[in-house]
Amino acid sequence: MSVGLITGSCGLVGSEATKFFINKGFEIYGIDNNSRKSFFGKDGDIFKTKKNLKNYSKKYKHFDLDIRSNKIKKIFRNLNKNIKFIIHCAAQPSHDWAYKDPIRDFEVNAYSTLKLLELTKQYCPNANFIFLSTNKVYGDAPNYLPLIEKKYRYEILKSNKNYNGIDENQTIDNCIHSLFGCSKAYGDIITQEYGKNLGLKTTVFRAGCITGTNHKGAKLHGFLSYLVKSVLKNNEYTCIGYKGKQVRDNIHSFDLVSAFWKVYQKPNYGEVFNIGGGRYSNCSILEAINIINDKLSLNTNVKVEKIPRVGDHQWYISNISKFQKRYPNWKISFTIDDIIEELIDNNLKN
């Protein structure tokens, strides 16, 4: 029996990974207790996604467990070396929410990652461990790049070494982090060290914005999904800081999970990769709104709050060249226009 264990299995990436690996022949044990509903209210509720996964295949086994629960040890003990991979997607994913309860934020993002690594070492040391980190581990350091203000976005000169994006050499020191960025940084680094120091097959993905139709976009998390929802429902959107010109790269959850598959086939030992849409798929908030307006002939009311979130990025594009060199057969399949069009169609249907 080949089993995969996926935490946060009903979230955007977890649900995409569940279907992907079931189609590759794996039995998936999913752990998800719908914490997103407590974080973000009904906008974060994953009940429908859980129902869809259960109906999708009998190879999906769901466990309504808090990632902090000691009951997870029983799953590892029972499955033991049948576990071929662990994809750790469960997280408290919001800057704003972390300030409300920093202890829970740390327990979910940091301490639970350590516990999962220990269980992997004890029960299935040959399994492939993939940790979904974030570009927020870099704090606001990318904001010190020499940015140029344009009509709808901030940009960087093509002559600048970072034009193709931020790479893994970007420092995480001497900058301001959100509390969320701090807790994810611990999970990120400890995952690397369990590979480099203890010999586990661990890989860290520092992701930019991840999106797709299963994204339960909420005001405090999931910018592109929530933006599309807000524009279609209310014909308005509020940008927090930077005049709405802050740039994000966006990677579709399918493209991210296909990168997980490449890693499963050719594992690493404590490696870290920046991953995102790169120069292939990125936009500012204003540009995203313009794309929606053009597609649907709308005239969205845009509001702008002057003060940005602490540690938020003014311009962030992932340099994905390191991953592409390691796995040359992997490529981005969704552009920003593809992603927004899919989100629009999904919202109009529902």
Spatial neighbors of 28 by CB under 8 A, at least 6 apart, are: 3, 4, 5, 6, 9, 18, 21, 22, 59, 60, 61
Q: What is the model's pLDDT at position 312?
A: 83
Domain over 3-349 is classified CATH 3.40.50.720: yes
- Under the banding of pLDDT at 50, 70 and 90, the label for residue 275 is very high
pLDDT digits (tens, 9 = 90+) for 4-15: 999 999 999 999
Q: Is the pLDDT of residue 285 over 80?
A: yes
Q: Per-residue b/e over 237-253, b at no fewer than 16 CB within 10 Å?
A: bebbbbbbbbbbbbbbb
Whole-number Å distance between alpha carbons of 8 and 29: 11
> Is 220 a residue whose pLDDT tops 60?
no
Q: Is the pLDDT at 315 greater than 90, yes or no?
A: yes
pTM for this prediction: 0.95
Q: Give bridge partners of residue 28 from the DSSP assignment.
A: 4, 60
Give domain limits for the chain.
3-349
- Of 329, 346, 36, give the one whose Cα is nearest residue 211: 346
What are the tens digits of pLDDT across the range 13-68? 999 999 999 999 999 999 999 887 877 777 778 889 999 999 999 999 999 999 99
* E-strand stretches of 122-218: 128-134, 147-149, 154-156, 201-207, 209-211
pLDDT value of position 221: 61
pLDDT higher than threshold 70 for residue 99: yes
